A and B are shown apart, each in its own frame.
Chain A
Amino acid sequence: MYFMKNKKLLYLLLLIVLWQIISMIVDQPQLMPDSISIFQKFWEEMINGKLWLYAFYSFAAIIIGLSISIILSLAIALLSIKYTWSMDFFKFLNSILHPLPGIAVLPVLIIWFGVGYSSIFALIIHSVLWPILTNLFSAIETFPKTLSKVGDNYEMGILKKFIFIYIPGTMPSFIAGIKTGWARAFRAVISAEMFFGIIGSSGGIGWYLVKKRAFLDTSGIFAGLIVIILIGMFLESFIFDRIEKLTLEKWGFKI
């Protein structure tokens, strides 16, 4: 674990040095600012340019959208355990809508919900819900019948069985679904923000990038990209990895 971390750090350092060398050779700061000025810019923007605020807006939108999607997917899963028609119907819906890229449905969402957070949330839900459902459905279908029968034996109703047996039992697929979903949501949100510009009092990180491009502020763009990478890394290695360690690995679900 420590070795792994150190190795990653080493690679990062290598990348920065490489970037620095290449940017010095290219010597066109408009195209490729050197590492140091990118970091300077990043720091400056974080403090004065309110870059963190932009990042916060995007991050918050994703977290809220993700939460709504998780609740929705659980409700659909519960319905689908109880009724086969529900499973069939949502599987059908899933097969149509899952392949649709988020950004492609954006025009429709704008017509329905207007330019604003409602559209962004709808977009996130579209990006996240289908991957989660795909995973949940296959987990439910292969779910050990014996476990469900154990629940029946102790006179648990469908809701109790869902909460205490199905949810923990399908956790690996559930988490896998959320992981795929979140990555899709992140992409969709940034594209949408670039498309929308300012919503309400501020814009997200996507809008920040568009603004920086308009001012030909290349280091600013890279500062924005760093933030996006950091958010991704934070979710992957702090949130998801932590959850997996606390659940799947402990329960021996992981290979």
Chain B
Amino acid sequence: MNNITKTFGSKVVFRNLNIEIEQGKFITIVGKSGIGKSTLLGIIGSFEKVSDGKIIFEDREIKKPDKNRIMIFQSFDQLMPWKTVRENIEFPLKHLDIEGLDIENILIELDLKDVENHYPYQLSGGMKQRVAIGRSIITKPRMLLMDEPFGSLDVGTRYNLQRLLMHVWDAYKMTVVFVTHDVNEAVVLGNDIWILNENEILQIANPIMKPRDISDVNFQIFVRELVQKIK
């Protein structure tokens, strides 16, 4: 992304920002509330218009959302209440003329086989986010954009979903940009951790080896270092 400037009225969120996202990476973005994490993710997915600058994806300038960059939201209302789990996951394939992943595999991998005929109102929050993940990967997108997708889940569910997401990423090798306000989560998941401060992005490679263990001393030291860099 070249020279991105983003303003809301007179408020400048980004000024002449330049970033590059490497294919296949798992990037986590942290930063204090209101700093512009969601806005940045929205810009990457073309859901937010830029006030100035260009977004280049695989050598082409892009202006509208497309099937290559799929957004997963925090809110549970991203599923269609009138469709079952299975129908929700299959939804993109109905409207795009592409060959997707096998729905059966996805249902099994995301542990949704038992509830495939349930409607969203019958699901827990964690299940709903699993369905959202299922829907987002079925089209084999190049990039997944996730805005605190596990933000409103309890610790246990969150932990399971983090592991599941790592597994999905290992299996399908798409680029992931993951926004969170939880630095632990950022370190568990990311190859690179980006700290978003006012008009500055610190890009830090994650030195912790997988599987990353929150209770490990090095992990905690690294997290502390990161927290100090968040302004």
Contacts and interface: CB of A to CB of B under 8 A. Distances in A.
B96 A154 contact: yes
Interface string A139-150: 000001011011
B66 to A, nearest CB: 6
Contact of A253 (B45, B81, B91, B122): B81
A175 to B, nearest CB: 13
B119 A149 contact: no
Contacts of B45: 153
Nearest to A143: B77
B16 interface: no
Interface of A: 144, 146-147, 149-150, 152-156, 160, 164-165, 168-169, 171, 247, 250-253
B187 interface: no
A144 B79 CA distance: 10
In the complex, the 5 A-B pairs of residues with the closest C-beta atoms, listed nearest first: A252-B121, A144-B77, A146-B78, A168-B82, A152-B65
A153 B71 CA distance: 7
A144 to B, nearest CB: 4
A164 B95 CA distance: 10
Contacts of B75: 144, 146
Given A144-B75, A149-B47, A250-B119, A156 B81 contact: no
A173 to B, nearest CB: 13
Classify the interface of chain B: helix, strand, loop or mixed: loop
A251 B79 CA distance: 12
B81 A154 contact: no
Contacts of B96: 154-155
B80 A147 contact: yes
A169 B71 contact: no
Interface residues of B, number: 25
Nearest to A156: B95
Contacts of A152: 47, 64-65
B150 interface: no
B71 A251 contact: no
Nearest to B74: A146
Contacts of A169: 80-82
A150 B77 CA distance: 11
A155 B95 CA distance: 8
B191 to A, nearest CB: 24
A160 B70 CA distance: 18
A10 B47 CA distance: 59
B212 interface: no
B80 A153 contact: no
Contacts of B67: 153-155
A171 B47 contact: no
Contacts of B125: none
A104 B78 CA distance: 45
Interface in B70-104: 70-71, 73, 75, 77-78, 80-82, 91-92, 95-96
In this complex, the member of A152, A153, A165 whose beta carbon has the largest number of chain B beta carbons within 10 angstroms is A153
19 contacts: A144-B77, A146-B75, A146-B78, A147-B78, A147-B80, A149-B47, A150-B78, A153-B71, A155-B66, A155-B67, A160-B95, A164-B95, A168-B80, A169-B80, A247-B82, A251-B119, A251-B121, A252-B119, A252-B121
Contacts of B36: none
A150 B45 CA distance: 11
Contacts of B119: 250-252
B95 A154 contact: yes
B120 interface: yes
Contacts of B91: 154
A171 B77 contact: no
Nearest to B145: A153
Nearest to B135: A150
B64 A252 contact: no
Contact of A171 (B66, B73, B82, B122): B82
Contacts of B73: 146, 149
A153 B70 contact: yes
B140 to A, nearest CB: 13
A253 B120 CA distance: 11
